[in-house]
Amino acid sequence: MPQIIVLPHATLCPEGAVIQAKTGELILDALLENGIEIEHACEKSCACSTCHVIVREGFDSLEPADDLEEDQLDKAWGLEPTSRLSCQAMVGTSDLVVDIPKYTVNLVGERH
């Protein structure tokens, strides 16, 4: 069973975390099931970028993002080449190291 190593985030996961994930499970679902309350304003419909994560290790094990995800990622704060929307990226068979950005772009409110 692959692991997701979550790097420390001041608000959501101050100590970081190591969680078990199922192959084929959305990164977002794995985070939420393990008490990491990452924002997901559009409820997993790929209509915002609030669940943006940066995959520091294991990025190549993920299926490529589709055009809709790429369009939403263009709106994300702190976009990097290994950025993904956690509501769209499914865990493969490799371990992942993810970084949750400090800020999100949310038209309803800003998380700091």
Residue spans per domain, the chain: 3-99
Give yes or no for residue 81 having a pLDDT over 90: yes
More confident residue, 10 or 105: 10
For residue 108, pLDDT beyond 70: no
Tokens 């608000």: give the residue.
Answer: 11
Name the nearest CA neighbour of 22 among 37, 6, 2, 43: 2
Q: Is a pLDDT exceeding 70 seen at residue 61?
A: yes
Is the pLDDT at 111 greater than 50? The verdict is: no
pLDDT exceeds cutoff 50 at 71: yes
Distance CA(25)–CA(62), nearest Å, equals: 11
17 pLDDT more than 90: yes
Return the pLDDT at 104. 81
CATH architecture of 3-99: Roll (3.10)
Average pLDDT of span 93-105: 92
**Predicted structure pTM score:** 0.91
